[in-house]
Amino acid sequence: AQSVAQPEDQVNVAEGNPLTVKCTYSVSGNPYLFWYVQYPNRGLQFLLKYITGDNLVKGSYGFEAEFNKSQTSFHLKKPSALVSDSALYFCAVSAWGLTGGGNKLTFGTGTQLKVEL
Amino acid sequence: GAGVSQTPSNKVTEKGKYVELRCDPISGHTALYWYRQSLGQGPEFLIYFQGTGAADDSGLPNDRFFAVRPEGSVSTLKIQRTERGDSAVYLCASSFEGLDTDTQYFGPGTRLTVL
C-alpha cells in the first residue's frame, strides 16, 4: 500500500525568504507525485506533478518541487515566499487501483504554511 | 473553462436522514472521483468512476454510502441513515482519462454536518 508523510504540521517563514514544505512517500512501482494547495473553504488547487524525467518540476505561482528517488522525497520549494502563499499544502501519490484501474490519490495530512511580513 | 462544481456547498442534516451530494465534472473528463476530508486530515479516496461504471469503490466505508453516474457526467453521492461521524467535507474530482499520470481537478466540496 502507498503512503505519504508530511512531517511538519506547520511551517513559518518570513516574506521574501525561501520556503520548503517536506514530503516523503512509499509506493510500489513508479511514483507519480502531486502537490495541491487548499485555501480556506475552498477545494484543492493543483500546483505541480512529477511523472518522469527531470527531477526538478516547476509549477504554478513560482513553486517547484524536487524529486529524490533515493530519499523517497518530493519537497515543495519556492525561492521567495509571499504572504499570499499562506495556505494548507498537500502532497499526494498516485497508485494504480487494484481493481479496475484509475489513479486514486493518497494524500498526506497537510502542512499549514504561514508567511509573515 | 468551467471547473468542477459541487452542490450544495453546505448541507446540515439530522442523524438518520438521507442526503444526496452532487458533482458536475469538467466537460469531457471521463474519470470522476469522490474523496472525503475530515477535519485536520488529508482527503481520503471513496470511489472512482470511469464513464458510467464504478471502477473502484474500495474506499466506501460501508453500505450506507452509494454513488451513481448514470450518463457518464454528473455524479451523485448518496448517504443513507446518516451518522454524526459522516460529518466531513466531501470532495469531487475529475480527470481526462483516469490514468495514473493524469491530474485530478477538484471541486470546492460539500461540507456535510450531521447533528
| Cα–Cα distance measured from residue B94 to residue A37, given in angstroms and rounded to the nearest whole number | 17
Beta bridge partners of B108: none
Angle at alpha carbon of residue B96, lines to B25 and A52, rounded to 5°: 135
Burial (CB < 10 A; 0-12, 13-18, 19+), residue A63, is: buried
Q: State the DSSP string of A54-114.
A: -SEEE-GGG-EEEEETTTTEEEEEESS--GGG-EEEEEEEEEE-TTT--EEEEE---EEEE
Q: Give the rounded distance of the alpha carbon of B51 from its chain centre.
A: 15
Q: Which of B42, B101, B105 sits opposite A107 (nearest CB)?
A: B42
Neighbours of B92 (CB within 10 A): 28
What pLDDT is recorded for position A96?
57
Over the stretch B61-84, which tens digit does the pLDDT of each residue have? Answer: 999 999 999 999 999 999 999 999
Closest Cα of chain A to B107: distance in Å? 5
pLDDT grade for B102, boundaries at 50, 70 and 90 = confident
Residue B99 has pLDDT above 80, yes or no: no
What pLDDT is recorded for position B12?
98
Judge whether B101 is closer than 8 Å to chain A, CB to CB.
yes
Nearest residue in chain A measured CA to CA from B42? A109
Closest Cα of chain B to A116: distance in Å? 22
Containing H/E element for A44? strand A44-50
Among all chains, which residue has been given the C-alpha cell 473553462? B1
What pLDDT is recorded for position A100?
44
Q: State the DSSP string of chain B.
A: ----EEE-SEEEE-TT--EEEEEE--TT--EEEEEEE-TTS--EEEEEEETTEEEE-TT--STTEEEE-TTSS-EEEEE-S--GGG-EEEEEEEESS--TTSPPEE---EEEEE-
